[in-house]
Structure 1
């Protein structure tokens, strides 16, 4: 006698795999939920810690009961608890009205008039130390007909693996403007990399003068910074510039949270890569600063005729930025010796 049912062993294996998966889900949400409550529960620190600990204990109890198969009720109770937690989490609103730190106090907004783009609140701070500076927010107009270059700027961050790129656009009059996604934090608030994963900070798009954005990293923070010239036709440059303009206006109009793992990748890196190659294949290397240049090089997105080591070594601009400091010609002097960059032809 034949049967269409799978062998008993296969059913048993499938059941075991489902149980292991369920246990991992409970464990994972136990950890995530505890951290989410600790960072976002609207209360003082000790109450937030209590809420986080209570969730962790309930998750642990649910896991133990599930493992021992003492009650089938937990199969219904824990998903209901989790659904309530996720509903609360999904409805935490981002805000544009907080007592922001000075360097992220203003959002970039743009007005487009044909090929001309006027940016409000371009940051151009004179940094002396991380806490001592002269703030300057400027309105600047850029003619996209005179856009000549796109540069990828990669600073080493607190977590070296995570890419936090800046994109710099150059014009034929020798001016540059950089765009970057930044954490928007409040005055007297410290920045936590873990907190960025749990809606602790809003996101902001900063348009800045290169002397501000690069010098802040090289001269003030002491970071190693590398610059790579992107191999891109002018129509793609303009399209990329307008994409960042749209993102800046969007964040200004509708606040959203910053997430270290996704914000830079989705808003900066993918837009850059999509202008280099249409329908570029998914590549994990785009997520990490150490491998991002190699991934772009494989797409022919860096300047040809140089090895990746030559581009990396020649593109290390930290020493030049520190030497130039506040002297004139910052942008042109930090590019001296960078492979693939020819002198700008002035109109």
Structure 2
């Protein structure tokens, strides 16, 4: 009722506003204004939620407790994927130490155009474990991803933390996407700061839901926002939005390992081929072996 009254008020105000014949507003203009008002009211009345009938792979989101140097993560995803739709679900907790953090990898997964990729950040620890963070759409059961829907508040934003043998294997093997792993050249202090910012973001999203946006709040812009918090002067670049080109951006800013090499060689080394035969526990080791070994 309130929405109808608002649209009617806009219509009347336009219809009876003083104007000369040369300023006559056509009915189509009035309809456009009314529809625009309807859209805006509908847009701002939409609220994100934490309690929907979520799809199994985003049923939970990660949270963490930090006690000094020790971090305990809850709802780490560790699914076993037979294909992109058949899986064995498993959620678990795990404890890690910040002083054992020794690597950060940017992982890009491509499935269509080279300008578009999904961005994941993998944190490596001295004991050989890796924990991957991924800002993802939080689909409801039966819902499919739509880039267009991502512009219109169709999905909530979810922070997922997962084992590489789950979230990377899903892309290299189950979905047969082109996946690249780029080791990042930063010191441990910055690695720790990045992980703590991810924890802060994850805990906040677990309390305060937010919408996913294809352009402004997605897997790559979340990464950039976190880095910008650490380094306020970090430059913005169109390759933040066109996430498929993020590796070139990191290379140009000397943030990749072996940045003295041509980018084409770094990219070639970064490509992950599907792992066909292995024990699940070996996945992180296998994808880090040089090609041909």
TM score, norm. by length of structure 1: 0.72
Mapped partners of 1:120, 1:71: distance in 2:
62
Report deviation, 1:158.
4.1
Secondary structure at 1:290's aligned position in 2?
Answer: helix
**Deviation sequence 1:144-197 (CA, Å, 0-9, x none):** 010000000000034542342000000000000000011111112222221111
Residue of structure 1 in register with 2:287 after alignment: 334
Q: Which one of 132, 156, 168 corresponds to residue 214 of structure 1?
A: 168
Residue of structure 2 in register with 1:311 after alignment: 266
Residue of structure 1 in register with 2:211 after alignment: 257
Residue of structure 2 in register with 1:157 after alignment: 111
Residue of structure 2 in register with 1:341 after alignment: none
Mapped partners of 2:39, 2:22: distance in 1:
24
Secondary structure at 1:222's aligned position in 2?
Answer: coil
CA contact (8 A) 2:250 2:256 kept: yes
Change (3 A) 1:273 1:297: farther
The 5 Å alignment of 1:115-194 reads 115-158=69-112, 160-194=114-148
Report deviation, 1:289.
3.1
Query: Gapped runs of 5+ residues in structure 1?
Result: 1-57, 63-67, 339-347
1:291 aligns with 2:245: yes
Q: Which has the higher helix share?
A: 1
The 5 Å alignment of 1:19-98 reads 69=22, 71-72=24-25, 79=33, 82-98=36-52
CA contact (8 A) 2:107 2:119 kept: yes
Residue of structure 1 in register with 2:223 after alignment: 268
TM score, norm. by length of structure 2: 0.84
Of structures 1 and 2, the one scoring higher in RCO (CA 8 A, sep 6+) is: 2
Q: Which one of 189, 193, 197 corresponds to residue 235 of structure 1?
A: 189
Query: Gapped runs of 5+ residues in structure 2?
Result: 1-10, 16-20
CA contact (8 A) 2:165 2:281 kept: no
CA radius of gyration, larger in = 1
Report deviation, 1:260.
1.7
**Deviation sequence 1:16-57 (CA, Å, 0-9, x none):** xxxxxxxxxxxxxxxxxxxxxxxxxxxxxxxxxxxxxxxxxx
Mapped partners of 1:126, 1:84: distance in 2:
45
**Deviation sequence 1:232-270 (CA, Å, 0-9, x none):** 011100000011111111111111111122222331134
Q: Which has the higher strand share?
A: 2
Report deviation, 1:305.
3.0
Q: Which moved more, 1:128-137 or 1:144-153?
A: 128-137
Change (3 A) 1:180 1:150: same
State the Cα RMSD in Å. Answer: 2.8
